[in-house]
């Protein structure tokens, strides 16, 4: 090769080298820088300083890409600077002490690195190539480094980042108090009271594991937070509101149980009631459980007689108005009505009965419990059907037994739970009761797999053992057509008197990773299925005694990986209120964990997991 050829080749190599360099710092890199700039601060008044100008001709492109000289600039100024012979920064058309929102530093970290970050303002950002010198220099100047496309670094001052995050949390996320902590010390930081702050929007339900806080909700749950706070700080006063100002009572279907509800005060109108309806001037409403019990049901005897039917003694509860009511409206002689709120009841009853009464059903509570035994005649019986004194471990005065009195307690459900067949058979012989709680004459069982599963076959055979005729249909409760067909099939020979909606689908995942399909697996059987049943049963409400939905505690408490299942059960609970408010039977039972039957029985590993998490199983 001649010397001229060698020179040409060298020139070509140099050119090639330049091309390579240009490729390396090609438009893609410039765009990346601009994207970083946009990320850093999409801020028209932004002032940018480029130190060193190491990108050559590309330096001009960046201001252009940021639309600097257009009608919509994304930066106010783009200035060039460099290092003078003394290693001091000099900036074109600016003082060397000026500060900038963004400082772009090419690979000049080998020269006076401590000087290079100085022009960055307090909130300023540094964008640079990722090099061995850049990383320690920026870190020691107090910057947090974010790597971009593995070769560009975006550096933010820790304080600026922290204050920006704090401002975001306070202004946008509504967090009342934001506390800072040094990263390296996170392990040793205890989340004390100052973290569990007391603002209504602060999430009070979290777990700290390692360095992270796990919170089960995306947005603050104000009601839950307030509940947690009330539990943690019982001193927080509850507001007492006179009920009469807020609500009135309504009875949707007189004579049927479970039909009491309250109406908001503004619902009450002064208009005339429609034809066939009367206005009831409600003077007093008692909301104690016992009063509701007394109003909605009665302690029934075999022949449905009550104390009133005996024409005997009634000891009314406290208020004068109630005693008046019994005397005036129910026709009871006033001398047979006593005040059960004080000890005068003993002398009164003794005087009216010569010896005292022969049977007490459900004795009085608290201090009056012993008082009520005072009017039991010798050889008489007291049967407790309430549970308060039993659960509260009330103290028994043994003197009562000196009069040969029998005290006993009775809870019907004990027959159901009894292992002794003798008692269990008593339960089975009760009208309306079976091994579950309902003993139908005709039953229709509907699910997708019919009788394929052994558990389904067992259910059918158990129902048949109680004398029921059972029809099994295959169908998907989330299909309106299938549900209509099933309801039609169940009403061909006799009207439908009850529905148990127990369908469920499970597919677990954290909400952020839950696919749409998984979401619907959890939602459809409960939400759409219930909705379909509700519509398919329109017109059957008169014969329907119950519409029972098996919800879960998860619907109220939540489970991190079961947002679909929780939402579906939450729907059932709300739906029961909604349907019940229309006077239609609707009950949603929030079951806890059930072992020995059902899903968990078939999935022992899930049961073990729940037990580990502190759930306790009902059998
Ligand atoms: N086990 C517990 O610890 C527990 C706790 C709280 C609440 N619960 C609730 O109690 C109910 C019963 O639970 P389990 O443990 O007995 O569950 P299970 O044995 O899995 O029973 C669920 C039934 O629903 C049927 N089903 C599911 N999707 C259906 C659909 N789209 N259409 C028609 N039928 C469908 C299933 O039959 P196919 O697959 O053949 O359709 C299955 O027979 C559920 O509502 C559940 O949420 C259970």
| pLDDT tens readout for residues 499-545 | 999 999 999 888 888 999 999 999 999 999 999 999 999 998 888 88
Pick the most confident of 240-244, 366-370, 554-558.
554-558
Q: Which atom of ligand 1 approaches the CA of 450 most closely?
A: 40
Q: Is the pLDDT of residue 234 over 60?
A: no
What is the pLDDT, as a whole number, of residue 57? 46
For ligand 1, whether the C-beta of 504 sits within 6 Å is yes
* CA–CA separation, 211 and 127 (whole Å): 29
608: confidence class by pLDDT, cuts 50, 70, 90:
confident
283: confidence class by pLDDT, cuts 50, 70, 90:
low
Interior CA angle at 72 toward 70 and 77, to 5°? 70
For ligand 1, whether the C-beta of 476 sits within 6 Å is yes
Task: Please name which of 584, 586, 552, 580 lies closest in space to residue 568, comparing C-alpha atoms.
Answer: 552
Contact 321, 284 (CB under 8 A): yes
* CA–CA separation, 198 and 458 (whole Å): 53
For ligand 1, whether the C-beta of 548 sits within 6 Å is no
Ligand 1 midpoint to CA 430 (Å):
28
- The residues near 373 (Cβ < 8 Å, ≥ 6 apart) are 360, 363, 382, 397, 400, 405, 407
For ligand 1, whether the C-beta of 501 sits within 6 Å is no
Q: Is the pLDDT of residue 358 over 80?
A: yes
Interior CA angle at 502 toward 539 and 460, to 5°? 95
Least confidently predicted of 248-257, 422-431, 533-542: 248-257
Ligand 1 midpoint to CA 457 (Å):
15
Mutate to test the pocket of ligand 1, among 444, 445, 446, 447 (most ligand atoms within 8 A of CB): 447
- Name the closest-CA residue to atom 11, ligand 1: 502
Ligand 1 midpoint to CA 427 (Å):
26
For ligand 1, whether the C-beta of 525 sits within 6 Å is yes
User: Which residue shows structure tokens 């059907």?
Assistant: 385
For ligand 1, whether the C-beta of 598 sits within 6 Å is yes
Domain residue limits, the chain: 22-162, 180-232, 246-270+281-414, 475-618
Looking at per-residue pLDDT, the higher value among 250 and 125 belongs to 125
**Residue 554: CB atoms within 10 Å:** 20
Least confidently predicted of 243-247, 314-318, 381-385, 600-604: 314-318
What is the pLDDT, as a whole number, of residue 83? 81
For ligand 1, whether the C-beta of 448 sits within 6 Å is yes
162: confidence class by pLDDT, cuts 50, 70, 90:
confident
Looking at per-residue pLDDT, the higher value among 497 and 113 belongs to 497
248: confidence class by pLDDT, cuts 50, 70, 90:
low
* CA–CA separation, 178 and 169 (whole Å): 7
Q: Is the pLDDT of residue 157 over 90?
A: no
What is the pLDDT, as a whole number, of residue 265? 47
What is the pLDDT, as a whole number, of residue 551? 95
Q: Model confidence over 2-44: pLDDT tens digits?
A: 344 444 443 333 332 222 323 333 344 555 565 556 555 556 6
* CA–CA separation, 95 and 560 (whole Å): 57
Instruction: Report the percent of the chain where pLDDT is more than 90.
Output: 15
What is the pLDDT, as a whole number, of residue 9? 40
Q: Is the pLDDT of residue 282 over 60?
A: no
Q: Is the pLDDT of residue 312 over 60?
A: no
- Name the closest-CA residue to atom 16, ligand 1: 598
Contact 130, 142 (CB under 8 A): no
* CA–CA separation, 477 and 448 (whole Å): 8
User: Which residue shows structure tokens 């970290």?
Assistant: 109
Q: Which atom of ligand 1 approaches the CA of 607 most closely?
A: 3
Task: Please name which of 371, 381, 385 lies closest in space to residue 403, comparing C-alpha atoms.
Answer: 381
Q: Could you say which architecture CATH assigns to the domain 475-618?
A: 3-Layer(aba) Sandwich (3.40)
What is the pLDDT, as a whole number, of residue 517? 95
**Residue 182: CB atoms within 10 Å:** 9
- Identical fold between 22-162 and 246-270+281-414: yes
Q: Tell me the mean pLDDT in the region 326-337.
A: 72
What is the pLDDT, as a whole number, of residue 144? 82
Asked if CATH classification 1.10.3470 holds for the domain at 246-270+281-414, the reply, yes or no, is no
For ligand 1, whether the C-beta of 522 sits within 6 Å is no
Mean pLDDT of the chain: 73
Least confidently predicted of 47-56, 132-141, 432-441, 474-483: 432-441
Mutate to test the pocket of ligand 1, among 599, 605, 607, 610 (most ligand atoms within 8 A of CB): 599
With H, G, I as helix, E, B as strand and everything else as coil, classify residue 181.
coil
Q: Which atom of ligand 1 approaches the CA of 591 most closely?
A: 6
Length of the chain: 619
- The residues near 38 (Cβ < 8 Å, ≥ 6 apart) are 74
For ligand 1, whether the C-beta of 591 sits within 6 Å is yes
- Give the CATH number of domain 22-162: 3.40.50.150
Looking at per-residue pLDDT, the higher value among 335 and 459 belongs to 459
For ligand 1, whether the C-beta of 460 sits within 6 Å is no
For ligand 1, whether the C-beta of 505 sits within 6 Å is yes
Q: Model confidence over 373-416: pLDDT tens digits?
A: 888 889 998 888 877 777 777 778 888 899 999 999 888 878 87
Looking at per-residue pLDDT, the higher value among 32 and 342 belongs to 342
Helix, strand, coil percentages in the chain from 3-state DSSP, rounded to 5: 40, 20, 40
Q: Tell me the mean pLDDT in the region 70-94.
A: 79
What is the pLDDT, as a whole number, of residue 59? 57
Contact 218, 173 (CB under 8 A): no
* CA–CA separation, 133 and 131 (whole Å): 5
- The residues near 443 (Cβ < 8 Å, ≥ 6 apart) are 463, 468, 469, 470, 471
Mutate to test the pocket of ligand 1, among 473, 590, 598 (most ligand atoms within 8 A of CB): 598
Q: Tell me the mean pLDDT in the region 75-103.
A: 82
Q: Which atom of ligand 1 approaches the CA of 554 most closely?
A: 6
Which residue stretches of 101-142 are H helix?
A: 113-116, 134-140
Q: Model confidence over 561-606: pLDDT tens digits?
A: 889 999 999 999 999 999 988 889 999 998 888 877 778 777 777 7
Backbone φ and ψ for 315, nearest 5 degrees, come out as -105, 110
Looking at per-residue pLDDT, the higher value among 507 and 494 belongs to 507
Task: Please name which of 390, 384, 389, 376 lies closest in space to residue 409, comparing C-alpha atoms.
Answer: 384
For ligand 1, whether the C-beta of 447 sits within 6 Å is yes
* CA–CA separation, 155 and 147 (whole Å): 9
* CA–CA separation, 500 and 549 (whole Å): 6
What is the pLDDT, as a whole number, of residue 536? 95
Contact 445, 474 (CB under 8 A): no
């Amino acid at each position: 090769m001649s010397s001229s050829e060698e020179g040409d080749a060298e020139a070509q190599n140099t050119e090639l080298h330049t091309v390579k360099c240009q490729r390396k710092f090609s438009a893609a890199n410039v765009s990346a820088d601009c994207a970083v700039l946009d990320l850093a601060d999409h801020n028209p008044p932004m002032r940018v300083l480029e130190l060193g100008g190491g990108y050559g001709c590309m330096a001009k492109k960046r201001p252009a890409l940021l639309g600097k000289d257009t009608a919509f600039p994304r930066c106010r100024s783009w200035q060039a600077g460099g290092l003078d012979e003394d290693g001091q920064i000099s900036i074109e058309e600016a003082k060397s002490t000026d500060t900038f929102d963004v400082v772009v530093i090419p690979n000049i970290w080998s020269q006076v690195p401590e000087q290079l970050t100085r022009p960055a303002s307090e909130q300023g950002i540094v964008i640079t190539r990722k090099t061995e010198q850049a990383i320690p220099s920026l870190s020691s100047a107090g910057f947090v480094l974010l790597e971009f496309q593995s070769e560009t670094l975006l550096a933010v001052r820790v304080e600026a980042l922290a204050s920006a995050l704090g401002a975001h949390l306070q202004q946008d996320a509504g967090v009342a108090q934001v506390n800072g902590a040094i990263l390296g010390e996170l392990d040793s930081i205890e989340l004390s009271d100052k973290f569990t702050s007391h603002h209504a929007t602060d999430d009070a339900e979290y777990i700290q594991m390692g360095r992270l806080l796990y919170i089960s909700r995306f947005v603050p749950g104000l009601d839950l937070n307030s509940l947690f706070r009330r539990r943690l700080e019982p001193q927080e006063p509850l507001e007492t509101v006179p009920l009469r100002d807020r609500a009135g009572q309504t009875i949707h279907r007189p004579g049927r149980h479970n039909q009491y509800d309250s109406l908001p005060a503004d619902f009450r109108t002064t208009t005339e009631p429609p034809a066939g309806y009367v206005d009831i001037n409600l003077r007093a409403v008692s909301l104690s459980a016992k009063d509701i019990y007394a109003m909605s049901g009665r302690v029934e005897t075999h022949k449905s007689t009550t104390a009133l039917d005996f024409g005997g003694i009634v000891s009314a509860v406290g208020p004068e108005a109630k005693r008046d009511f019994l005397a005036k409206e129910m026709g009871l002689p006033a001398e047979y009505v006593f005040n059960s709120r004080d000890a005068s009841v003993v002398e009164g009853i003794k005087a009216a009965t010569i010896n005292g009464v022969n049977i007490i059903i459900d004795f009085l509570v608290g201090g009056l419990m012993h008082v009520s035994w005072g009017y039991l005649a010798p050889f008489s019986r007291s049967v407790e059907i309430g549970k308060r004194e039993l659960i509260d471990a009330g103290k028994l005065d043994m003197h009562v037994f000196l009069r040969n009195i029998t005290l006993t307690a009775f809870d019907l459900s004990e027959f159901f739970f009894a292992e002794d067949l003798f008692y269990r058979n008593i339960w089975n012989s009760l009208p309306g009761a079976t091994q579950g709680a309902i003993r139908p004459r005709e039953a229709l069982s509907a699910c997708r797999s019919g009788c394929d599963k052994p558990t389904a076959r067992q259910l059918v055979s158990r129902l048949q053992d109680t004398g029921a005729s059972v029809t099994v249909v295959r169908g998907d409760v989330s299909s309106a057509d299938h549900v209509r067909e099933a309801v039609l099939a169940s009403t061909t020979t006799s009207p439908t008197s009850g529905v148990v909606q127990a369908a469920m689908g499970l597919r677990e995942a954290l909400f952020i990773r839950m696919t749409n399909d998984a979401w619907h697996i959890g939602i459809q059987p409960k939400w759409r299925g219930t909705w379909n049943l509700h519509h398919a049963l329109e017109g059957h409400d008169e014969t329907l005694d119950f519409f029972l939905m098996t919800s879960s505690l998860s619907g109220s408490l939540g489970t991190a990986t079961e947002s679909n299942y929780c939402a579906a059960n939450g729907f059932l609970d709300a739906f029961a209120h909604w349907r019940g408010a229309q006077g239609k039977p609707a009950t949603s039972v929030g079951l806890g964990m059930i072992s020995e039957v059902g899903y968990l029985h078939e999935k022992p590993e899930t049961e073990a997991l729940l037990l580990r998490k502190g759930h306790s199983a009902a059998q």
